[in-house]
A and B are shown apart, each in its own frame.
Chain A
Amino acid sequence: MSDLFNEISIRISGENGDGIFSSGDTLAKICSRSGLEVHASRAYQSIIRGGHVSYSIRASNQEVRAPADYIELLVALRKDSFIVDAIPTMTKGGFILFDSKGSRIKDEPIPSDVELIDIPALELARKLSPLKILRNTVFVGAAIALYSLKLEYLEEIIHEAFDRKGEEVVNINIDAARAGYEWVLQNCKLIDHNVKLKDRTEKVFIGGNEALALGLLAGGLQSYSWYPMTPATPVGAFLAKYGPNAGCVVKQMEDEINVANFAVGAGFAGARSACATSGGGFALMTEAIGFASIIEAPVVFIEVARGGPSTGLPTKTEQGDLNQLLGASQGDFPRAIIAQTTIEDGFYLGQESLNIAEKYQIPVLIASDLYLGEHFETIPELDFEKIPIERGKLILEEIPVEEQPYLRYKLTEDGISPRAIPGVKGGEHDAGSDEHDEDGKLVSDRRAGFPEAIQVRIKQMNKRMGKMDLLLTELPPPQVESNADHPDILIVGWGSSYDVINEARADLLKVGIKSSQLHLKYILPFHAKEVKEILEDFESKQIPILMVEANYTGQMARHIRAETGFLLKHKYLRFDGEYILPREIGMEVKKLLNKE
């Protein structure tokens, strides 16, 4: 309990339609503007009204890159908040802010050792306006008073949100915020925390999907096609809003099959092209991924996974689609699979993925998931110059007669053929989804089976697949991070769990457990040799290895075994759809080390 109130940990929860997310977002921004590092995540359901939703905020003077293990202040708008949030996740010594009369809360189960603050939020709101939603502003005002956060920042955000609706709306909201704030000052003992609040700070506070989308724009994205699907929708919503001013065409299509095919058409035509979806949509896209690969059109396909199979858990997280990315589309063809690891990483990965797609003329698949895509963090300053736009062997000028005939699929030493796009004189060619020769003409119809066609097939397959070997030499090999020379354990993870594992390790170190972390980002092509050496090195030193994944079967463990032959015996697998918390990984490590 020594860490209590060294951070701010707030959860606000209620029904869909209560305005929980905008209240939560306001609280998060107030923390960010107070100079704190913020992590914010949401839990919700696949409905528009009713159900139970929550918004969790963790803020600190130190970097916070994982959800809080426990809630310290719960703003409970509904009685379900007591069952879903308070009982399982409240810390002892915490506070519950609620309105017994306004929310008709009585005789709810209450966790032990928490302080109840019963604020007449609805009554205070009704004095100002008949609009029930105003009680949220009262609650937010009360919450910031409890943590001694500045009312001024709340007023600032009210202006930003409501200025366009006129002075009256702004004033009512400001009055409501003040009513909640004053009520707390008059009736409560404030939370005695150890968080140092700073002067007004402007930090970027952004989600994983938005950071990835911004990265795509920074990578010179020119075409984005999409179909709404949770949890990938925010990528499309971001680009629909900001794409047109950044030179990116954004097209909502009728289904994901056509989203993917649109993206291939745009890529063929010379646009830096991408599309995003979740597991179900990706299943529909797969044929087009093979199509992109055989016509050697660069396209980035983003898969923000949710709980599967089928419609599965639409609003819950899972790393369950790796097998689908590895196995997408028929036949063997080159593809890159890269997992986004953090929100900040999304910004750079968006740019890197477009470069890889265009330099190697291959589809690049980005693996993300609901947790990573939908949670928000304050992030360090972004370096917009770090990754230049690289277009590879792209031909934009007329091909002179003496260099003709132009061969689109010319056999070259590195397997990458110079690429002319429509509009380039002298570069005319056919791009076909059938197997073809260097000229792009089919070998699948009347030539099929002839010795010459068989040789064409072999050469074109070798040419395309050879790009995987070349790409692997460009990708940075995985590194082991350690907090001691002789660690007690190696934790292996991939993609979205990087920060959570990292924080779990920091917590473990506090109780004397030293650890290393091997985190995989580049999944295909795979650094088999390096990963094998790392794993065998730990095994030879008899250091236990724990694989952490959010899926049922351990899909990455299986991929590692397929690539290296190394069997990962210990796995912590989560498939309940909930975010993995640092303390849960810590418990698993302690169990494995018999230190519980």
Chain B
Amino acid sequence: MVTEITELQLTIKDWASIQPTWCPGCGDFAVLNAVKNSFVELQLQPHETVVVSGIGCSSNLPHFVAGYGLHTLHGRAIPVAEGVKLANPDLNVVVTGGDGDGLAIGIGGFLHGARRNMNLTYIVMDNAVYGLTVNQASPTSGLGRKTRSTPYGNIEPPFNPITLALAAGATFVARTSSGDKNHFAEILSEAIKHKGFAFIDDMSPCVTFNKVNTFDFFKERVYKLEETDHDPSNYQEAMLKSFEWGDKIPIGIIYQNKNVLTYEEQDPTITKFGSVVRRGAEKDIDALKNILKDFV
């Protein structure tokens, strides 16, 4: 929910929390920064905002930003966030996590979340490595990469998160780079404003373990889709764009469909009562007795 500015303007200080525990120079700092800036730009209220995460370096993010934080289990951020959202659709729910969290252990939740199209924003801080467990291959690690789990080189081709999200039915799909935090904040604001499941694959370099996908690696390759004639409303074009990964890597909004109803807008309970949490726990005895008429 984007709140009307009626009271004091909220500033970045209203989103302040404890200092992050990430390694100095980690790409995740840019995400945190963009999250706060975007929340300020959209004037989200901290008490109406829930940041949900899984487990991993990047999933510590909710602790570093004010508002309600829900630091869940490894791979389970999406289903937990869906539970929050359907219980109270009035809340702004932003989900964050890493590539291991969302694309390995949590891929089921990610793909079904994408097709479900609840009004959620999901940021994957993609560093192509398991950092917190000290350097193992992740589902986005490139072929040949040597890690502690692939000491002889990675022989599994990586997932393409953008193609996956498109195939699963996400209605907003974007790639961003932690190397360009202002651009990221702009895209994030668009994602939060988007009505439906918004997925952002953020290239967030791991300065400790990933010596391939570095800030420089992306700096040399990324270009902004906004500066091209790419049409994000064209699904086929978006699909083709999703395959582009090499000397040139597109960042920005790859796909957006503004004309689809969200899950909440169609749910039979929510369309009738709105937020069930705001409605309260009710015991409508007459209605319950009416059900019993079917059991005679």
Given A247-B273, A249-B86, A262-B83, residue A422 in contact with residue B91 (CB < 8 A) = yes
Please, which residues of chain A bring their CB within 8 A of the CB of B82?
251, 262, 265
CA distance A55 to B91 in the complex (A): 48
- A433 and B55: CB pair below 8 A? yes
Least Cβ–Cβ distance between A215 and chain B, in angstroms: 10
Q: Which residues of B contact A259 (CB under 8 A)?
A: 79
Contact A264 B276 (CB under 8 A): no
| A428 CA / B46 CA spacing, docked (Å) | 7
- Give the shortest distance, in Å, between A248 (CB) and chain B (any CB): 6
Does A431 reach chain B (CB closer than 8 Å)? yes
> Which chain A residues (473-515) contact chain B, with CB distance < 8 Å?
none
Q: How large is the interface on A (under 10, 10 to 19, 20 to 34, 35 or more residues)?
A: 35 or more
Knowing A249-B269, A255-B108, A423-B91 are in contact, say whether A389-B281 is a contact too (CB < 8 A): yes
Q: Tell yes or no: A152 within 8 A of B by CB.
A: no
CB interface residues, B 167-185, toward A, < 8 Å: none
The answer to whether B295 touches A204 (Cβ under 8 A) is yes
Question: With an 8 A cutoff between CB atoms, is B287 at the interface?
Answer: yes
Contact yes or no, B47 A427, CB < 8 A? yes
Taking CB atoms, residues of chain B closer than 8 Å to A442 are 60, 63, 71
Instruction: Determine the chain A residues whose CB is within 8 A of the CB of B91 once the complex forms.
Output: 269, 422-423
The interface residues of chain A lying within 8 Å CB-to-CB of B62 are 430, 432
Contact B87 A253 (CB under 8 A): no
B254 within 8 A of A: no
Which residues of the other chain, B, contact A427 by a CB distance below 8 angstroms?
A: 47, 68
Judged by a CB distance under 8 angstroms, whether A181 is at the interface is no
Nearest chain-B residue to A408 (Cβ)? B68
Q: Which residues of A contact B240 (CB under 8 A)?
A: none
Asked if residues B63 and A432 are in contact (CB atoms below 8 Å), the reply is: yes
Given contacts A225-B83, A253-B112, whether A248 and B276 have CB atoms under 8 Å apart is yes
A423 with B88: CB separation less than 8 A: yes
Task: Give bound CA distance, A440 to B289, whole Å.
Answer: 42
Residue A272 at the chain B interface, CB threshold 8 Å: yes
- Provide the B32-45 mask, 1 if CB < 8 A to any CB of A, else 0: 00000000000001
A214 in contact (CB, < 8 A):
yes
B285 in the interface (beta carbon within 8 A): yes
Contact present for B87 and A270 (CB under 8 Å): yes
Asked if residues A246 and B69 are in contact (CB atoms below 8 Å), the reply is: no
- Report the separation of the CA atoms of residues A20 and B81 in the bound assembly, to the nearest whole angstrom: 43
Kindly list chain B residues whose C-beta atoms are within 8 Å of the C-beta of A223: 83, 86-87, 276
**CB-based contact B288/A384 at 8 Å:** yes
Interface-located stretch among A237-245, A537-545, A572-580: A237-245
A214–B288 alpha-carbon span in the complex (Å): 8
Q: Which residues of B contact A253 (CB under 8 A)?
A: 79, 112
Q: Are A432 and B273 within 8 A (Cβ)? A: no
Out of B46, B73, B268, name the residue touching A291 (CB < 8 Å): B73
Q: How far, in whole Å, are A442 and B132 apart by their CA atoms in the complex?
A: 15
Is B72 in contact with A291, judged by CB distance below 8 angstroms? yes
Tell whether, in the assembled complex, residue B69 and residue A429 are in contact, meaning their CB atoms are under 8 Å apart.
Answer: yes
30 A–B contacts, CB within 8 A, in A order: A210-B295, A214-B291, A214-B292, A218-B283, A222-B276, A223-B87, A243-B269, A247-B269, A247-B272, A247-B284, A249-B276, A250-B269, A251-B83, A258-B79, A258-B108, A262-B79, A262-B80, A265-B81, A265-B87, A268-B80, A268-B84, A269-B88, A291-B73, A389-B283, A422-B91, A427-B68, A428-B66, A429-B69, A430-B62, A432-B63
Q: What 9 pairs across the A-B complex have the smallest Cβ distances? A: A265-B83, A220-B281, A258-B79, A430-B69, A432-B71, A265-B80, A271-B87, A244-B268, A266-B83
- Give the interface of B toward A (CB within 8 A): 18, 21, 45-50, 52, 55, 60, 62-63, 66-73, 76, 78-88, 90-91, 108-109, 112, 267-270, 272-273, 276-285, 287-289, 291-292, 295-296
Given contacts A265-B83, A422-B48, A428-B47, 15 further A-B contacts (CB under 8 A): A204-B295, A243-B269, A244-B269, A253-B112, A258-B109, A258-B112, A268-B83, A269-B84, A270-B277, A273-B83, A291-B73, A425-B47, A428-B67, A429-B69, A430-B70
